[in-house]
Amino acid sequence: MKKGVHNLRRNTSQRIAIEKVFREHERPLGVDEVLTYGRKEVNSLNKATVYRNLKMLIDDGCLKRISHPFFGTLYERTGKGHHHHFHCRKCNRAFELPGCALKEDEAAPKGFVIEDHEIYLFGVCPSCAKFTK
């Protein structure tokens, strides 16, 4: 994770486990996924601790929130540049897509000001596609 303010905070085993989850899973994750993966490192990890540490990591600029149209808030590491996401309808995981082809100045109707955007594509990921043929 980024160096910075959070290094002044106590490096608890819970936070270390949560940071490890995001290093090992290069895709957006929900709180329940972070909890499940994090418990492999720290069995006593609970949802309140996950939320508290996610907030700290967001405040420190290490993570950011993204809004998923079905699953609500997901979290991903920062520093990857602007990109969009693919949702697999079979395994219900979100994956990062490289880059952005949208030209904001051409996308909005006249008089509208775009502040941000997020695009989701939906379909079947390669792992799930193997089992659907």
Per-residue pLDDT tens digits for 68-112: 888 889 999 998 888 899 999 999 888 988 888 888 888 889 899
Beta-bridge mates of residue 62:
none
- What percent of the chain is modeled with pLDDT above 90? 56
Contact at 8 Å (CB) between 6 and 52? no
What distance in Å separates the CA atoms of residue 132 and residue 57, rounded to the nearest whole number?
38
CA 98 to chain CA centroid, Å, is 14
Has this prediction a pTM greater than 0.75?
no
Domain boundaries, the chain: 5-77, 84-132
Contact at 8 Å (CB) between 99 and 86? no
CA dihedral of 108, 112, 116, 118, whole degrees rounded to 10: -40
Fold (topology level) of 84-132? Dna Ligase; domain 1 (3.30.1490)
Pick one of 1.10.10.10, 2.102.10.10, 3.30.230.80, 1.10.3720.10 as the CATH number of 5-77.
1.10.10.10
